[in-house]
Amino acid sequence: MSDPRIRVALFFGGRSSEHGVSCATAGGVLGAIDRDRYEVVPIGITRDGILTLQPDDPSGLTLADELPEVRDNGTRVFLPESASTREFRVREADGSERSLGDVDVAFPILHGPFGEDGTIQGMFELVGLPYVGNGVLASSLGMDKHFTKTVLQGAGVEVAPWVTVTRARLAEDEAGPDRAWRRRIEALGLPVFVKPARAGSSVGVTKVKDWADLDAALETAFAEDHRVLVEQAIVGREVECAVLQGRDGAAPRVSVAGEIVLTTREFYDFDAKYHDAPGVELVCPADLGEGALREMQHIAARAFEAIGGAGLARVDFFFTGEGFVLNEVNTMPGFTPISMFPACWLASGVTYPELIDELIQLGLETAR
């Protein structure tokens, strides 16, 4: 008798600087997914981009002193050869090959470039494989902070003022008489945040409170991407909400708000997110009035639709007391059991296993 369960290919790891975060997310999903309903094929992507078959075991993918990592175990996984089949194959470390059987849906829990940016989504599209989450366009838009802001501005959503620079532009600035780019940056006022255009989890981000520190901050960001945003710091509460695509063409669903409360830390950086560094408290649900919450949810849904969102997103805001300034749209947000995206849904009545189930069902429903 054949196994009636839905077969899910779980992709994690990857080539980005958020490799370890993705592995930790995989551990959470493997530990919580409904095994009566789903069979999982765990496909770990090494830092070099090699697709490997990994153990179906969450114990080696936990948040600890060091983030987990996909090691090259000698296996090689091959995706379907065309859109006419859903069969995955594996070459074992000893050189023998075997079929992994058909896969119903891919679940890419990859953060950062080469996973969250539309690249792997395009690969799934080429072979006609249904997948969880945002499509090629929304993924690439959401990954690139410059173009996210540009699209959201066009949709009438307020974002923080910013200047996008490259090394070439800054070099022209140094050689020219008017230093136009520096003047544009300094017109933002202090403090500013310096961010890689395409990175997440606060990797490469620096808060600059003195213009003397700007060059070092730019170098940190350029280590992650060739384009860098210098963004005006907005004074306000850091609040965010989780979005799920509506079923059957309905409007997006938006969770209650969560809040990042900074006590002694300058901002919610990588160590605070994944190494439990002190100075930050996560509060969910956030203490927002009913009217403010409704406004935030409305803007989040509008932003999700503006980028052509599908599946899921986390939308981050600054609440100034007078209104909301949208900070980022994360198309594959942190998804460990303790991350804000599942926490917001838990506070809204959706458990972590139910959330995994809903995302897979949405991926199957919206098969492209």
What is the per-residue pLDDT for 338?
85
Please tell me whether residues 222 and 261 are part of one structural domain: no
Last residue of a domain, one of 209, 232, 255: 232
| Boundary of a domain, candidates 232, 256, 290 | 232
Contact status, residue 160 vs residue 232, Cβ threshold 8 Å = yes
Neighbours of 82 (CB within 10 A): 9
> Is 278 found in the same domain as 212?
no
Q: What is the 3-state secondary structure (H, E, C) of 176-205?
A: CCCCHHHHHHHCCCCCEEEEECCCCCCCCC
Q: What CATH number has the domain bearing residue 201?
A: 3.30.1490.20
Chosen domain end from 208, 232, 256? 232
Structural domain includes residue 19: yes
Q: Tell me, what's the pLDDT at 337?
A: 85
Pair (103, 22) in one structural domain: yes
Residue 285 within a domain: yes
Same domain for 206 and 246, yes or no, is no
Q: What CATH number does the domain containing 40 carry?
A: 3.40.50.20
Question: Would 1 be classed as within a structural domain?
Answer: no
Domain membership of residue 136 (yes or no) is: no
User: Do 147 and 175 belong together in one domain?
Assistant: no
Question: Does residue 330 lie in a domain region?
Answer: yes
26/120 same-domain check? yes
Residues 208 and 59 both lie in one domain: no
Residue 265: predicted pLDDT: 45
Q: Which residues constitute the domain of residue 216?
A: 162-232
Task: Mark whether 71 and 148 lie in a shared domain.
Answer: no
108 and 81 within one domain: yes
Same domain membership, residue 295 and residue 147: yes
In order of 33, 99, 140, 266, 333, the CA distances from 112 in angstroms are: 23, 30, 10, 23, 10
For the chain (length 368 residues), average pLDDT per consecutive 10? Answer: 88 94 94 97 98 95 85 97 97 98 97 93 97 97 96 97 95 83 95 90 87 96 94 96 95 97 61 55 94 98 98 97 94 90 96 97 84
Considering the domain architecture, whether residues 228 and 287 belong to the same structural domain is answered as: no
Q: How many domains does the chain have?
A: 3
Residue 137, in any domain of the structure = no
At residue 279, the pLDDT reads: 66
What is the Cα–Cα distance from 257 to 255, expressed in whole angstroms? 6
127, 149: one domain: no
Strand partners, 33: none
Nearest Cα to Cα of residue 206 among 181, 184, 224: 224
CATH number at residue 322: 3.30.470.20
241 domain-assigned: yes
Q: Model pTM?
A: 0.90
pLDDT of residue 275: 45
